[in-house]
Amino acid sequence: MMPSRSDAIAYGLLTLTALFWGGNFVVGRAVSSEIPPIALAWWRWCFALGLILPFCLVPLWRKRRQLWQARWPLLLLAALGVTAFNTLVYLGLQTATASDALLILSAGPILILLISWVLYREKISTGQLLGVSLSLLGVLMIISRGAPWRLLSQLEGNLGLIWILLAVISWAFYSVLLRLRPHGLTGFEFFASSVILGFLLLTPFYLYEHWVQARILIWNEQSLYALFYVSIFASVLAFLFWNQGVAQLGANRTGYFIHLIPVWGILLAYLFLAERLYLFHALGIGMIVGGLILSTGRAVTVKN
């Protein structure tokens, strides 16, 4: 049965969203020598904020009392989803390859399952426990470059993978804690408030990087293109397309498209960064996918 025209459009928009988010990792790696990591995150949200502010200022002002009452959950979610996740990714991409980062990202659903059990005591079956263990072994396989027994020595040479793992943990906490999202805010209002708060929280770190560490953004054609991409495509358009997909298809069907992010990202990394995959990558991703199947009996979906 052929999908309806509206469903087909939603599939296309979600595929583009996965492409934009996968490309974010490739761009972060490509400009790692020209744009300091915190500067990349700060300017990304600065440009994105400039684009959405004219459309969100009045609605947010009208709901200022509601926003103030929900300030602590909003601050926590903004810190995890906007400030921490993207900054940690860009820190990791200073030394980690985009392919490694994307493969570790694919373990996110398993970490969400584990954190849900820790925080909310959601039941974990034997199959889910085996799946979590297998997926975590897959992550260790990638981080250790296929030699888990030499994990510590491998990490000394590539701190970037630790930053990426911390980024995925941050995103997993964000996904689990989304249940704290205040009711009464539209998706766009929640996104806008998260960007504003996350941007403000990130500013002291950017000033420290710029003035104390003296890490200066090199303004040139490449850096401008990179900032244009991460702010418009990987931030604003990705959000709009994702929400349109959720509205048309529902959260469960939409969640499957999360798994396209590593696929697109690794393909782009191969085409534009000449990155290669090795046997330990295949073993690691096989363990992660096997863990996902054991944990759910199907692909894991993430409600965003």
Task: Provide the pLDDT confidence category of residue 301 given band limits of 50, 70 and 90.
Answer: very low
Quick one: average pLDDT of 18-31? Answer: 95
Quick one: average pLDDT of 203-209? Answer: 97
Q: Express each pLDDT in 28-61 by its tens digit.
A: 999 999 999 999 999 999 999 999 999 999 999 9
pLDDT at 302 (0 to 100): 42
Give percent of the chain above pLDDT 70: 89
Instruction: Please report whether residue 145 resides in a domain.
Output: no
Instruction: Please report whether residue 159 resides in a domain.
Output: yes
- What is the Cα–Cα distance from 257 to 18, expressed in whole angstroms? 7
pLDDT at 43 (0 to 100): 98
pLDDT at 142 (0 to 100): 74
Task: Provide the pLDDT confidence category of residue 104 given band limits of 50, 70 and 90.
Answer: confident
Residue 205 burial class via C-beta count within 10 angstroms: exposed 0-12, middle 13-18, buried 19 and up: middle
pLDDT at 16 (0 to 100): 95
Give me the DSSP letters along the chain. Answer: -PPPHHHHHHHHHHHHHHHHHHHHHHHHHHTTTTS-HHHHHHHHHHHHHHHHHHHHHHHHHHTHHHHHHTHHHHHHHHIIIIIIHHHHHHHHTTTS-HHHHHHHHTTHHHHHHHHHHHHH-----HHHHHHHHHHHHHHHHHHTTT-GGGHHHHHHH-HHHHHHHHHHHHHHHHHHGGGGSPTT--HHHHHHHHHHHHHHHHHHHHHIIIIIS------SHHHHHHHHIIIIIIIIIHHHHHHHHHHHH-HHHHHGGGGHHHHHHHHHHHHHH-----HHHHHHHHHHHHHHHHHHSS------
- What is the Cα–Cα distance from 109 to 297, expressed in whole angstroms? 13
Instruction: Please report whether residue 19 resides in a domain.
Output: yes
Quick one: average pLDDT of 147-173? Answer: 78
Instruction: Please report whether residue 133 resides in a domain.
Output: no
- Give the range of the structural domain holding residue 252, as residue numbers without chain letter: 5-106+153-279
Instruction: Please report whether residue 141 resides in a domain.
Output: no
Neighbours of 106 (CB within 10 A): 27
Report how far apart, in Å, the C-alpha atoms of 298 and of each of 32, 119, 255, 289, 301 are.
36, 24, 12, 10, 9
Instruction: Please report whether residue 148 resides in a domain.
Output: no
Q: Express each pLDDT in 247-294 by its tens digit.
A: 788 765 776 677 778 888 888 998 999 888 778 778 887 887 787 677
Instruction: Please report whether residue 114 resides in a domain.
Output: no
Task: Provide the pLDDT confidence category of residue 296 given band limits of 50, 70 and 90.
Answer: low
Q: Express each pLDDT in 124-140 by its tens digit.
A: 777 777 877 887 777 77
Domain count across the chain: 1
Tokens (6 digits) for 61: 């002002």
Instruction: Please report whether residue 39 resides in a domain.
Output: yes
